[in-house]
Structure 1
Amino acid sequence: MPEPQNILAIVYDFDHTLSPHYMQDHTILRHAGIDPAEFWPSCTALIKERGYDQELAYMKRMLDYDSIRALSNNDLQAMGPDLTFFPGVPDFFEELNTIVHQPRYAEWDIHLEHYVVTSGLKAILEGSQIAKHVKAMFGCEFDEDQGHIHFPKRTISHTQKTQFLFRVNKGLLNLEQDVNDHMPEEARRVPFRHMIYVGDGPTDVPCFTVIKKNGGLAVAVYNPHDTTRKSFKKCYDLAHHADRVHFMAPADYQTGSQLRLILEQHIMEMADSMVERRRQAIEGTRVPAPPP
């Protein structure tokens, strides 16, 4: 039986999208007394000189430190409260949810769900303030040996992120389920036209492309307090030169901000469109009674 397709979804990147920092900077690196200004260039060296994938490079470098190898995934989760966020996070998740609680949408049982897909560490996010607000989070993971992290179990590159858009699309959130299984469009839990993707730069281009190509909304955000303008320039290039996104906005999730207005307006438009399609479907099933 086809899914009712009554769900809207927003999928977020994390670093520089919901937070102005790399999640590792204020958690693992601070715990280990490692200067991010030295750590990240050492990861870049692995990428350039030895051909490492970006995510494997930072996970390998972390495991080079005894103080980090001594940690468990529970230790990483306990660092979650140390994460910092852009203004409005995490309150905005529930504030956006109230849109679909309006009577005109509630009578159609419309729901809004939030997801995070990141190349950062899932364990840290699981202990953060945002964990209770999202339907699912996907990120890189370490395996453990005798209670200590010791090897990458899962990595999510910028191209692999698109897999998780299809998982949201098909409702296959359990990683044991094969996302490549065929599923007709009418059976998919969250059509792409009911999805919004929020990211910050070139690493989000594959996700922007999938969402934009399939009728969803792609939004790039930048840090308005970045005096180097690098954050702004990334988004400007995505919006103006590459035509990868529909909108760009400062990463301010507070009520009344440009980003909030964009998200709220599109949520309402998606919900209105959903209601209208369902009304038309019901009308199409009606058979007029014969005249008396």
Structure 2
Amino acid sequence: MANHTPIVAFLYDFDKTLCTTDMEDYAFIPSLGMTPAEFWAKANHFGRTNRVDGILAYMYTMLRESAARKLPFTRADLVEMGRGIVLFPGVEDWFQRINAFGRSQGVTVEHYVISSGLREIIEGSAISGAFKEIYASEFYYDETGAPVWPKLTVNFTAKTQFVYRINKGVLDVSDDKTLNDSMPDDSKRVPFTNMVYIGDGLSDVPCMKMMRSYGGQAIAVYQESNRSGVEDLLAKGRVDFIFPADYSQGTALEAAVQDIIRKMAVCDRLFERNVSQLRSIGGDVLPNQVGLF
């Protein structure tokens, strides 16, 4: 294997992980004259009554409630609404700081969103440019900019698909063939061992379990309102670490992430050294040696 710069990928949920509540609560739901409690009760009731996937149910409820009030929205409207998102402390400069620390350790850091919220709203946020890719639910829009169909839905278990896409470097959601092609472990773009998933609760458990099963790291962040639930995730071995949702410089969260990057950088160097020595004596790299460290 040729010398390369290792990639460390950070995968984030968005709602209550990077911002303080569900992204629709900031501007979209108030624009309907509804409270978040009223909107989500309607969406959840519709989903349960009709046995509709929860993400499709809330997207349909957005369309139905907007039409009922003669308040149609466009893609541009949702992007604009994203400007009202309230981020946790330190989030806005978090990515720049972590990228710089990664460079100091000889690795390239990439950031991804995997969210059940709306891509359009995320794109309007102050941090949208920090991500290599945003995987989130999204509408398809007609030539007038009106939403007419779900383009992508990301429910809790579907989130794991995007972990595999990042692992293989197959980021285009329309490319299923390459995603499902067989690929040797040592040729995958971002090994699972170089991944960190950051979320806030039960909806993130499938991705967190993947991290812990395949050698990555899982972190849960919390506000006081969901602290007990996050502590339960730690007690049950579903996450590696929990921290308050404060991304500011000098926090325990930042210190832990820096240690994780150090560890991943060292493990990659050891692996490269092992491979170099094997090849110098004519040996082969076996599949079970990938991620050995």
TM score, norm. by length of structure 1:
0.89
Residue 140 of structure 1 deviates from its aligned partner by 0.6
Alignment of 1:17-166 (within 5 A): 17-64=17-64, 65-66=66-67, 70-102=72-104, 105-106=105-106, 110-145=107-142, 146-166=144-164
Structure 2 unaligned residues grouped into runs of 5+: 282-293
Q: Is the 8 A contact 2:5 2:108 kept in 1?
A: no
Residue 271 of structure 1 deviates from its aligned partner by 1.1
Which secondary structure state, in structure 2, belongs to the residue aligned with residue 90 of structure 1?
A: helix
Name the amino acid aligned to 1:220: A
2: CA distance, partners of 1:39 / 1:232? 25
Aligned residues: 276
1: CA distance, partners of 2:45 / 2:72? 24
Residue 274 of structure 1 deviates from its aligned partner by 1.2
1:193 equivalent in structure 2: 193
Cα root mean square deviation, aligned: 1.9
Residue 266 of structure 1 deviates from its aligned partner by 0.5
Name the amino acid aligned to 2:34: I
1:202 equivalent in structure 2: 202
Name the amino acid aligned to 1:84: V
* Structure (1/2) with the larger helix percentage: 2
2: CA distance, partners of 1:257 / 1:98? 17
Alignment of 1:213-224 (within 5 A): 213-224=213-224
Residue 32 of structure 1 deviates from its aligned partner by 2.9
Which secondary structure state, in structure 1, belongs to the residue aligned with residue 111 of structure 2?
A: strand
1:239 equivalent in structure 2: 234
Please tell me whether residue 253 in structure 1 is matched to residue 247 in structure 2. Answer: yes
Residue 276 of structure 1 deviates from its aligned partner by 2.4
2: CA distance, partners of 1:117 / 1:100? 21
Residue 239 of structure 1 deviates from its aligned partner by 1.0
Which secondary structure state, in structure 2, belongs to the residue aligned with residue 29 of structure 1?
A: helix
- Between stretches 148-157 and 68-77, larger displacement belongs to 68-77
Identity of aligned residues (%): 38
2: CA distance, partners of 1:262 / 1:202? 22
Q: Is the 8 A contact 1:72 1:149 kept in 2?
A: yes
Residue 285 of structure 1 deviates from its aligned partner by 4.2
Q: Is the 8 A contact 1:3 1:186 kept in 2?
A: no
2: CA distance, partners of 1:186 / 1:2? 12
Residue 35 of structure 1 deviates from its aligned partner by 1.3
1: CA distance, partners of 2:2 / 2:188? 8
Name the amino acid aligned to 2:252: Q
Name the amino acid aligned to 2:123: E
Which secondary structure state, in structure 2, belongs to the residue aligned with residue 186 of structure 1?
A: helix
1:268 equivalent in structure 2: 262
CA distance change for structure 1 residues 276 and 76 in 2, over 3 Å: closer, same or farther? same
